[in-house]
Every structure is written in C-alpha cells, then in structure tokens.
Structure 1
C-alpha cells in the first residue's frame, strides 16, 4: 500500500512540475514551445512503459490513455484553432501517466475553472468573446485539486 502511494506521489509531482513549466510559458507567451510538449509526451510514454513492464496497464490501455488529449486535438481542428493544438498535446502526458477517468475529470475541472474566469471577464467587461485565456494554468489547478480530493479527502476519481 505504501509503495502504491509513493508511486502516486511521484506521478503527481512529475506531472505538476511539467504543467507548472508549461503554465509559465502559456501565461507569458500565450503558447507552449513544441519541444516542451514533446518532452512531456516522451516522459509520459516512458512512465507508461514502466507501468506496462510492472504489469499495471495493458496494451489496450494505450489508445484509451491518449483519448482525452486526442479529443482536445479534434476540438482544436473543429474550432479552427480557437482551442490550441498545444492544449491537446499538454493533456497527453497526463493521459499516459494516469487513468483516462482521472484525466477526463481534470479536463472537466480545468474547463469549469476557465469558464468561471471567462464569465467574470465578460461580466466585468474586461474581456470579450475573442479574449485568449491560457489553458495550462487551469489544467495544473485541476490536477492539483483532483490530487487533493484523492489524497486528503479520500474521494477516488479514477474508480
């Protein structure tokens, strides 16, 4: 049991570190460098490989792990770039490192947090429908909130 908790802690720290760096770029430049996104995907793939060698995931879990990020990439295509491609690539390491249920909960949480900010900007007339809002900080906040819910409150998200 303790080892499992240690693995979760390492997974969350690695993911939060990656998302923290991406958030800094997203807040400052409104884009995340490709090399950083691909490094994250590589780290996620390596972590997934470790889980596969430990027998904790099956080959069938790989496409399912990439599904949340793939859906965001699809939305990026549909919205003609209103949702950035980088947002989909940002989610892929989280999908590889966690179960798809948890990753989906984090995406929903990030979208809700983004919605509240956007609503506040619109109501206060400090933004309009073309105001660009960075996604990475909200995804990081959602990952931390899910981590808190699981670790300290005891609510399992991926069951």
Structure 2
C-alpha cells in the first residue's frame, strides 16, 4: 500500500511541476491531495503498529521550509514547504531529506546556468517543485530500485 501512495504522490508532484513551470503557482487541490495521502500513510503506520518518532520528525524539513517562507516574506514559496511537509510521512525522513538535498543541488546547477548564460540575475524567481519532484524521484529510485 505504501508503494501505491508513493507513486500517487510522485504523479501529483509531476502535475504540480507542470503547473509551477507554467503559472509559478500550485493549485490547492494538488497540495491537499499530497496532504491527504501523507495523512493516510501516517494513519496506516499507526494501524499496523509501525508508527515511530521518525514519522513525526519527517515533518520537520517541510516545517522548516514553511518557516523560512514566512520569515523571508515569500522568497521561498509556501507551497514548496507544504509539499515538502507532505513528502516526509510518505517517503520517510531519510528519503525526504535526500530528495530535498538533491533538489537543492539541481536548482543550484540550473541557477548557475542561468547566471552564466545571462538569462536572469540573482533575483530571478524559479519554480522549485520541478526540482523537488526530480530530487524525490532520484531518492525514490535510489532507495527502492538500487537498494542503497
């Protein structure tokens, strides 16, 4: 069941990525969908007795991103933090952090390319959900398929 939830979340993130690229916004129903799936995954962990402190800790990367969004007055999108907060319970703390770090690496490389090619400057706003989707996808593949 957990694998099905993970695949559904990845599908929703793919749709959210397209929306983020086109409109620089994420529809609320997509954020709500990942939130419902994260809640369902935590509920299943409680029912089957596999709920642990790490499940609560998995909310922290997203909570930190939301806090940064509030402090920076939206420089980091609130939807990015909300999406990240949903990823923790679905993929686990280790995979969520791996996905976030990979997303930050990808966005850094992309940003350097934009600066070098003079297609933008340090104030150029970038959609982050596509990077988060790619990073989470890499983490998903590494952990599930390569057994790392």
TM-score by length of 1: 0.85
Gaps of 5+ in 2: none
| 1:16 equivalent among 10, 13, 17 | 10
Find the counterpart in structure 2 of residue 105 from structure 1: 98
Find the counterpart in structure 1 of residue 111 from structure 2: 118
1:10-30 deviation per Cα after TM superposition (whole angstroms, max 9, x unaligned): 233112111111111111110
Find the counterpart in structure 2 of residue 39 from structure 1: 33
SS of residue paired to 1:82: coil
Find the counterpart in structure 2 of residue 3 from structure 1: none
Output aligned runs, 1:38-117, within 5 Å.
Answer: 38-58=32-52, 60-117=53-110
* Rounded Cα–Cα distance in structure 2 between residues aligned with 1:55 and 1:15: 23
Find the counterpart in structure 2 of residue 130 from structure 1: 123
Superposed CA RMSD: 1.6
Gaps of 5+ in 1: 1-6
1:105-145 deviation per Cα after TM superposition (whole angstroms, max 9, x unaligned): 11111011000000000011011112111111111111111
Q: Give 1:98 deviation, angstroms.
A: 2.2
SS of residue paired to 1:90: helix
Find the counterpart in structure 1 of residue 142 from structure 2: 149
Q: Give 1:73 deviation, angstroms.
A: 0.5
Find the counterpart in structure 2 of residue 26 from structure 1: 20
TM-score by length of 2: 0.91
Distance change in 2, residues 1:9/1:116 (3 Å): same
Q: Give 1:79 deviation, angstroms.
A: 1.8
